[in-house]
Amino acid sequence: MSFDLRYLDGTSRDLNRRVARHYTSITGRRVDLRAAVVANRVENVADAIETGRRDLLDAALARWAKVDAGS
């Protein structure tokens, strides 16, 4: 079984915690939610740079600001 926890970015904090607890109960491995979110954001930035599309980077930054504000 494999989980890609990077995609927790943008979901509710409660959902993040519940998924992390469940993952830990299944695998015995602790989840670092901050690291999962950062990994996703780094991938988004790398993708935007690779494509040369500033609009993708701007959209990601706007989405993160909204998520980080708790909206």
Range of the domain at 15: 5-68
Greater pLDDT, 46 or 69? 46
Mean pLDDT (the chain) is 82
pTM: 0.65
Question: In sequence order, which ranges of the chain are alpha helices (DSSP H)?
Answer: 13-27, 33-51, 54-68
Output the furthest CA–CA distance in the chain (Å, rounded).
41
Backbone angles phi and psi of 10, in degrees to 5? 100, -10
Query: What is the dihedral angle through the alpha carbons of 8, 9, 11, 16, rounded to the nearest 10 degrees?
Result: 50
Task: Report which of 71, 11, 69 is spatially closest to residue 40, judged by C-alpha positions.
Answer: 11
pLDDT at 31: 85
Summarised one tens digit per residue, pLDDT across range 28-49 is 999 888 888 888 888 888 888 8
Domain count, the chain: 1
Q: How far apart are CA 55 and CA 49, in angstroms?
A: 10
